[in-house]
Amino acid sequence: MGDFLNPDKEFLNQLNSKVEQNFAREEFGVSELAEAMNMSRSNLLRKVKKATNISVSQLISQARLQRGMELLKTTSLNVSEVSHQVGFNSTSYFIKCFREHYGYPPGEVGKRTINDLPELNTEFINKKQIPWAMFALTVGILIMAGLVWWQWPKENIMESEKSILVLPFKNDSADSSNVYLINGLMEATLNNLQKIKNLKVLSRTSAEKYRNSSKSIPEIAEELNVNYFVEGSGQKMGDKIVLNIQLVDGATDRHLWSKQYRREADDIFDLQQEISKDIVAEIQVFISPEEIQRIEKIPTTNAEAYDLFLKGVGLLNTRNDDNHRKSLEFFQQAIDLDPDFALAYACSSMAYYYLDYFRTEKQYLDELGSNADKAFLYDPKLGESHTAKAMYYMQKTEYSEALPYLEKGLEYNPNSTQILGMLADYYGNYMPNTGKYLEYALKGLRLDTGSGDSVTTSFSYLRLGNALIQAGFIDKSLEYLDKSLELYPANPFSNYVRAFVLHANDKDLHQTRELLKVEFEKDTFRFDILQDLGKVSYYLREYEDAHQYYERFIRLRETLGLDVYIHEHMIIGIVYEKVGMEQKGKEFIESCRDFFENNETVYRELALGMYYFHIGETAKGMDYLRQFSKEDNIQFWIILFLTMDPILDDIKHLPEFKKIMDEIESKFWRNNRKIQERLEEEGIW
């Protein structure tokens, strides 16, 4: 009768059978299981989640670990042998997963006996009675769980995902000077909601493009895939604020709740908190005690200081240098009135950061650091304080120091597109990690659909296109790069990246070089393109051409006073050697080796391996290459271009080299599948 009560039982039996048949295949994952079941990935993910409430990858992992436990109990195989038999080629990773699943390492399986478990009172329960006793105990637990659930406050019950967009508030006052206040209330409402992890809150720029839109709420909801909308309008009358707030259902345009708030201007913080709490209560999203504390925190007790701060924030959000300078004046006036105003210090740091962002010589680094330190001193649990500290270290190029502040800032403000963008750039440009780069680029775009400014959206699509190609998703990368160019055909980087993505399909280096030339002619100060023109010519073994490009690149780099592309000095040095400038070439090569000796990225071993291959120490080069093969999340460019490098012309035929390269490529594509599976299961792919 149980089979009739569980329609998924047959499906799960088939699923388990397929997994068991492929235990020893490490690469057997979601895609392979879907193929074995003759199902699409999406259908498999959905059906397994519904039937088991766990993901497919979790199901496979648990099945492997359970089989591992059986083998350890019933055979004489050691831990390493068992790990390979159940699809863990890394014994250390098997031990880690086993410990997390069972609470102790696999080496202790033989020591864990029935005596380690609580004893049953056999005076009252004989062997035939044990199953019934366990059944009664289980029923009792379920009844207790049901009672707890029934009595638990319903506002703590959470649906799969709830999303909200705070539309720009309207100023009902005839006095346009009050716009900053109404915008500030909208910003505060948004910021409070963004602190809630279990609520997807779209960015201010996503809302801004609908300020004067004629589109209906259901049209916007479908366009952005959002459940709820907050609409607001208000005015300031003397010392009073009147604000009208509505919560609207996205699918039906039905007003779920509305309220008018009348407060004294001095009660602005109570007003902000009340609005946020009312919205959260209405949509019944779970909010933790820590999140409540962050929302209830008052940034300053000085109403005049806060009024000046709001004026500064309005200017800071424009991302314009003149407005950034003006915002600093308001922030400083606010700080003069309240020297402990952490949020004002943090926003001052951000203004200095943006003023220096595109400058080679950083003019405001000291001011950025000083304000960030004060923000952190006065409120170390403020998300903006952590963002300011991260900006300081990013500007100093001390990237590893910035990461903890970015991660903690995101913990305090999980819907911050600003922090998500910085994390994407961190893992894309400074400490490369393809999986994390793609994850944060997707999360950022998911919350920030772009403002009405097509240029901003174009660059968001560019970032995602670049993240996708680095993880090996060629077609999807082209899709987003094309979207980027549709919105802003003059985007100076989209065609640049696109030239290399196209090479992944056609493997035509001559075409790649021609496409790069076209982009360089648009802006002959593009030292990044000059460097790549030299590199492509190097791969083509056209060293005279490569030398000409590198000569121009070095002159331009010196003229601009830049200290960039040191990691490319190996190739530059070899080109100089090839054209007879051996001493200069050696200097470049040695500077590259010195750079990577002190480098923390995953590419250190690869670069040092290439150095030793070049100077003829093949065995040492192989050792470094073998170490590099253990790295995860390497960029697709390694797979695409490494074997084209002339350094390897006398090496790549060696069986040992081929074996290592096969391992690197196989690992890359396995990781490519794992990245997609993880992002699909998280619902952000």
The model's pLDDT over 523-567, given as tens digits with 9 standing for 90+, comes to 999 999 999 999 999 999 999 999 999 999 999 999 888 788 999
Which residue is it, tokens 């650091």? 369
CATH number of the domain bearing residue 87? 1.10.10.60
Amino acid 449 reads T
Residues 386 and 348 in one domain: yes
Position 157 in a domain: no
Phi, psi of 328 (to 5 degrees): -65, -35
Residues 208 and 107 in one domain: no
Q: Is residue 302 packed enough to be buried (19+ CB in 10 Å), middle (13-18) or exposed (0-12)?
A: middle
Position 403 in a domain: yes
> Could you tell me the residue range of the domain that residue 240 belongs to?
162-285
- 272 near 193, Cβ under 8 Å? no
Position 314 in a domain: yes
Which residue is it, tokens 């170490």? 627
Amino acid 328 reads L
Position 401 in a domain: yes
State which of 62, 97, 116 marks the end of a domain: 116
Q: Which helix (H) or strand (E) holds 264?
A: strand 255-264
Residues 231 and 328 in one domain: no
Position 669 in a domain: no
CATH number of the domain bearing residue 349? 1.25.40.10
**How many DSSP H helices and E strands does the chain contain?**
33, 6
State which of 88, 116, 144 marks the end of a domain: 116
Residues 79 and 52 in one domain: yes
Helix pair 527-539, 569-578: axis angle to 10 deg = 60
CATH number of the domain bearing residue 244? 3.40.50.10610
Could you give the number of structural domains in the chain? 3
Residues 325 and 273 in one domain: no
Amino acid 46 reads R
Residues 410 and 339 in one domain: yes
Show the DSSP H helices in 426-568 as ranges.
434-447, 454-470, 474-487, 494-506, 509-522, 527-539, 543-560
Position 275 in a domain: yes
Residue 154's pLDDT is 36
State which of 50, 82, 116 marks the end of a domain: 116
Phi, psi of 331 (to 5 degrees): -65, -40
Residues 250 and 208 in one domain: yes
Closest CA to 493 of 537, 442, 459: 459
Show the DSSP H helices in 298-381 as ranges.
303-316, 321-337, 342-356, 365-378
Low-confidence ranges of the chain (pLDDT < 50): 1-6, 113-159
Position 433 in a domain: no
Residues 31 and 111 in one domain: yes
- Return the structure tokens found at 413: 């403000």
Residues 182 and 272 in one domain: yes
Residues 252 and 335 in one domain: no
Position 67 in a domain: yes
Residues 270 and 315 in one domain: no
Residues 264 and 308 in one domain: no
Each residue's pLDDT tens digit, 347-358: 999 999 999 987
Residue 149's pLDDT is 29
